[in-house]
Structure 1
Amino acid sequence: MSDKNKYREGPIICVVGARPNFMKMAPILRALAQQTPPLSVLLVHTGQHYDRDMSDKLFDDLRLPRPDINLEVGSASHAVQTAEVMRRFEPIIDTHQPSCIVVVGDVNSTLACTLVAVKKGILVAHVEAGLRSNDRAMPEEINRILTDQIADRLYTTERSAEGNLKREGIEADRLCFVGNVMIDSLVHSRANALNFLETLRLSGVDHSQFGVGKAYGVVTMHRPSNVDQPDILRGLLETLAEVSQKLPLIFALHPRTRANIEKFKLSFLIDSVRMVLLPPQGYLEMLGLMVDASVVLTDSGGLQEETTALGVPCLTLRENTERPITIEQGTNTLVGTDRQAIISGVDLILSGKGKHGKIPELWDGNAAERIANDLAQWIQK
């Protein structure tokens, strides 16, 4: 038995820290429970992002069990938050002596818990490994690179990730191509997605301009590069206001975005009957909004994947993406923050000439099952 597998009989600790992690972890937990015998699992929520009402609803939407442990770290600077997760996670390792930990995605909690586990001699499996934007100004890119370097088992969502990891000197026998667990949640939940009209009604919005089947677009923005600088945020809002004259927009406002719109006194740019403003939405509501949308305009990595799986055109308001397969095979187009590129992209989609794309390899709703099968064998080696 290797030093890194000294707690062979211990539970698997699954770590979540922020909203996108929940969508990735929910199908993994179901798949681990279906192993014969079921694998012992402890779900740890670091509390990196936590809104009690929204988190409770998200757990319900995804049929995700409540966390066994919540570290309640809360928001802070990247350095403070990472350090605090590490400080609070170490006693969990000492107490429960896990056989391994499973981390997903690229948030601060992913890197922090990986660092603690590796230094304690605990095996680490990273789900969604190898994705790269090649933009080291993104904190998530640093988290991805470092986590992949020190994790023991790397589960990839697309073939290009393997090339990224091999270029970084990671051995092939640490890699396992399994597909995309985010799509597992989408496949599992699509039948329960709320119709967009119902979502508007529940939000108390006058939706009279949205006739059944009428075209509309969905907007989300939250990345600091888009919403923290007044000139960039103003330019994007002016462009969205112009787009809204072509088709109504449903804008699910992230708290950071709303706060900066108010801080920079830009509210007048989104005060339009053609732009419906909603608070952050639950998973089933957001899924329903996307299913029926003519186009999604976003800077979210997860929405790039979900729109590709749904066959809905997506315009990504970024200069790069760590999910190139959504461009090469899917429905995604990078438009950055350039007004003309965004307008032209919308016009192309509304003309019926936008990308139709295809479903990427192994984005079939069974990625979590492949992970659980491999994990069960791997931790016993």
Structure 2
Amino acid sequence: MVLKIGRGAEAPPFLVMDVIAAANARAAALAAGMPPETPPGTTGPDGGRVIRLEVGQPGTGAPRGAAEAAIRALQGGAPLGYTEAFGLPSLRARIAAHYGTKYGLDVPPGRIAVTFGASGAFPLAFLAAFDPGDRVAMAAPYYPPYANILTALGMRPVLLPCDAATRFQPTLAMLERLDPLPDGLIVASPCNPAGTMLTPDELADIARWCDRNGVRLVSDEIYHGLSYGRPEATAAASSPSAVVVNSFSKYFSMTGWRIGWMVLPEELCRPVECLAQNLFISAPHLSQVAAEAAFDCAPELEANVARYRRNRDLLLAELPAAGFDRLSPADGAFYLWADVSALTGDSVEFCARLLAEADIAATPGVDFDSGRGGRFLRLSYCGPEADIAAVPGRLRRWLGR
């Protein structure tokens, strides 16, 4: 008898995870002194150590104050059991206070949901806001799990092709041309993979358009705090119906702690709470304790941002001479979206060679745009400064420039 496989298993892979696995294997082989066959002179100046540009994970760990709060909680002897499904009241209050301090916005703690990372927030938001068959629009290129989670849940991604002319962001004119209108829209500012941002006015216009037209807006704001001279705005300031997703993974440098949050419209609070109770019970108690303390670690966190800015500025200045001369402006986050069509039309093969021959791990653009991504790479610059500084030289040697 052949057993059925559920339609959720049809979700496409998140290819960056495969790149991570390949980079780990390459690094392990190099560390063992048994590198695969590599053309002479193409490894890095430090003997071929893999430089990791493939994953959006800060090279730093949790801020010291957050780690120390977790240690105190572990040593205190109290059981770190389940919390309420929406999280510790003290953490929710601290997140609400953050909206007042950063955005001048009064958000009641009752509208805050602490989640199992932003990755845990998206299925909760999608299940509460949409039905199977609903159409949800997003700019392309896009963060792959948006479309993959929607697909697994029986919803339909609607891709809006964007390019350098729109700074890889959707425009109000694009949305107004859609017929029929979608049931939802996902925006991200700063976005992954291009690192570009909507202006506060552009975000406000889109949020109000969605609210007027019955289109549920999901605003991914997980890269807030990581911007370089451009102002950040939250969709919650412009629309009472928007769902805002944020995380402690990026600015707060707490990826492995799996802790995030949502700002929910009133009508979705109880539906999301019921879903969270059943799907996740609660976010990890220890991570919530650490996350609350992370709000008091601004000097350390801002030092991280300054490092990302230096990495960004170095790559923007030096990559063109290495053959990477068509780069997104990188307003925020820690990514460059590189048009490498002058070098390849197959970003998967190009990234495989880049790893095998130059010991640089990068993510092929097809992960973010299946139609046009063969001409693009995503480069993450949140790693150690010494690694980032070595990248242009390796690329020049590899490409013979």
Give the TM-score normalised by structure 2. 0.32
TM-score, normalised by the number of residues in structure 1: 0.33
**Bigger relative contact order, structure 1 or 2, given CA contacts below 8 A and separation 6+?**
2
